Amino acid sequence: MDTLCDKNLAKLRRENRALLELIAALTAGFSLPEKRKLFTRLFPALGGKITRKTLARALGITRSTLYYSPRAPSKDLALKARIEETLRQHPSFGHRRLAKELQINKKRVLRVMHRFGLIKRLVKK
């Protein structure tokens, strides 16, 4: 009887862990207030009182991660538009030539290209 209970408990813990990972993945782009609202809707038993510590534990992340916000996404979007325009005119340009053309650091160009999927792989003949 104890082994059956242990097996069920282990199964429930695995399911709980998988659900928490799913919730963490789904809420990755949310701000802290949005995450709190979501959790109060998902877990009404908590009575709407969710501390940062509880929220971080439920998401399976550290508290400092809750405060993370990406740096200047609007600048990246503007640069993406400039890169796409340049690539339309010169489709063979790589990140180095793009950087020289746009007069921007090549690391920044490469980061934006990776972020928005603008990197093209060369196929060897």
Q: Is the pTM of this model over 0.85?
A: no
Domain around 59: 2-66
Structure letter (DSSP) for residue 45: G
Task: Mark out the alpha helices in 60-105 (DSSP H runs).
Answer: 63-66, 73-89, 95-102
Domain boundary pick from 49, 66, 83: 66
Give the mean pLDDT of 24-49: 69
Statement to judge: residues 6 and 27 lie in one domain? yes
Whether 9 is in a domain gets the answer: yes
pLDDT tier for residue 4 given thresholds of 50, 70 and 90: confident
Name the amino acid, one letter, at 9.
Answer: L
- pLDDT at position 97, please? 93
Statement to judge: residues 99 and 60 lie in one domain? no
Statement to judge: residues 81 and 55 lie in one domain? no
Return mean pLDDT, the chain: 79
State how many domains the chain has: 2
Statement to judge: residues 62 and 77 lie in one domain? no
Q: Is 73 exposed, middle or buried (0-12, 13-18, 19+ CB in 10 A)?
A: exposed
pLDDT tier for residue 105 given thresholds of 50, 70 and 90: very high
pLDDT at 117 over 80: yes
